[in-house]
Amino acid sequence: MTRPLGIAVLGTGRMGADHVRRIDRVVSGARVAAVADPDGERVKEVAAGIDGCAAFTDPGAALAAPGVEAVLIASPGPAHEEALLAAFARGLPVLCEKPLTPDAAGALRVMEAEQRVGRRLAQVGFMRRYDAEYEQLKALLDAGGLGRPLFLHCRHRNAASPSFFTTEMLINDSVVHEVDAARWLLGQEVTAVTVLSPASSSRAPAGLRDPQLVLLETAGGVVVDVEIFVNCGFGYQVVCEAVGESGSARIGDGQSMLVQSGGRWGGEIVQDYTVRFADAYDRQVRRWVEATRRGEVTGPSAWDGYAAAAVSEAGVSAQRTGSRTPVELAPRPAFYA
């Protein structure tokens, strides 16, 4: 293929608009052929200035638009299943923002539909797998550099949560990243989840239980603790320390310029995930475009999306009951081996 890959972007909110900009200006070999969003004004604004980009309020119309050969789904999680099934029906490869679906049953239906097509079409947007520091930590663990892993200590902090954020979303929208990162880094499934909630921060909007401590247990006996704090106020931080039998390694401390002046020293804390993970998002979309042009799917699969959704479901139940909750995972189909 010599001409650019025509992509339809579904959802032009914050992430969708960022992906449109990325495909249009950063990634070569691809172009935005269509965009769709229920907000008619917004979608027109996002399409304006992009050559040959059609704007729709109906996602189905965007998939059917001339020149569309692949789809990037960046609409809210509850809209993903319908969009994935519509893309599969047209045989279109998809990069779907996380979560694949908010619930495990929906993710199972997505896997079944993909298997009916008979070839892999979906990649899930777990972009941390494309972050340089995460890649380094994965390489170290895979090479046995820390010995057998025992713990992952994770911190995931957002400056502030959006107005629509719910207590459940702390798990299925935020901690879902640590769930995928833990599965990927360790090569092990998560088997049980426990959630502890301290008294909520006074910065948390009314009704939101924030922060929380989420404990994941894995099949190989690793314990992963995640502090999730989505209204920490001071910036965006994602830290992961792996502890093994022969050492530890930590990523995410941020390496901004160190300034010493006026009797003080310090640097800047990034405020946002689109900044902290900008390179990872670029690399993710670039590799997806390259693989799609070769007719391949190389990134996290619908199985990874399903496994993360199953852990999230156990996590939300653990939030409600306060009890340690086993993860119910269907057997992995050979299709996703």
Binding of ligand ISE at residue 155 (CB under 6 A)? no
Query: Which one, 173 or 217, has the nearer CB to ligand ISE?
Result: 173
Binding of ligand ISE at residue 218 (CB under 6 A)? no
Query: Which one, 31 or 128, has the nearer CB to ligand ISE?
Result: 128
Binding of ligand ISE at residue 114 (CB under 6 A)? no
Stretch that binds ligand ISE, among 42-50, 102-110, 172-180, 329-337 (CB under 6 A): 172-180
Binding of ligand ISE at residue 19 (CB under 6 A)? no
Alpha helices in 64-175 (DSSP H): 80-89, 104-117, 132-142, 167-169
Q: Which member of 88, 134, 229, 273 binds ligand ISE (CB under 6 A)?
A: 273
Q: Which residue, judged by CB position, is nearest to ligand ISE in the bound state?
A: 174
To ligand ISE, the closest distance from the beta carbon of 285 in angstroms equals 15
- The answer for residues whose C-beta is within 8 angstroms of residue 29's C-beta and 6 or more apart is 4, 5, 289, 290, 293
Binding of ligand ISE at residue 173 (CB under 6 A)? yes
State whether residue 285 is helix, strand or coil.
Answer: helix
Binding of ligand ISE at residue 230 (CB under 6 A)? yes
Strand partners, 71: 8, 94
Query: Which one, 162 or 326, has the nearer CB to ligand ISE?
Result: 162
To ligand ISE, the closest distance from the beta carbon of 33 in angstroms equals 25
Question: Is residue 166 packed enough to be buried (19+ CB in 10 Å), middle (13-18) or exposed (0-12)?
Answer: middle
Query: Which one, 53 or 240, has the nearer CB to ligand ISE?
Result: 240
Tokens at 163, concatenated: 């107005």
Q: How far apart are CA 59 and CA 27, in angstroms?
A: 23
Q: How far apart are CA 59 and CA 16, in angstroms?
A: 13
- Nearest CA among 208, 40, 98 for reference residue 110: 98
- Nearest CA among 293, 331, 307 for reference residue 3: 293
State whether residue 230 is helix, strand or coil.
Answer: coil
Binding of ligand ISE at residue 174 (CB under 6 A)? yes
Binding of ligand ISE at residue 129 (CB under 6 A)? no
Binding of ligand ISE at residue 231 (CB under 6 A)? no
User: Would you put residue 35 in left (φ > 0), alpha (ψ -120 to 50) or beta?
Assistant: beta
Query: Which residues would be at the binding site for ligand ISE (CB under 6 A)?
Result: 158, 173-174, 177, 230, 273
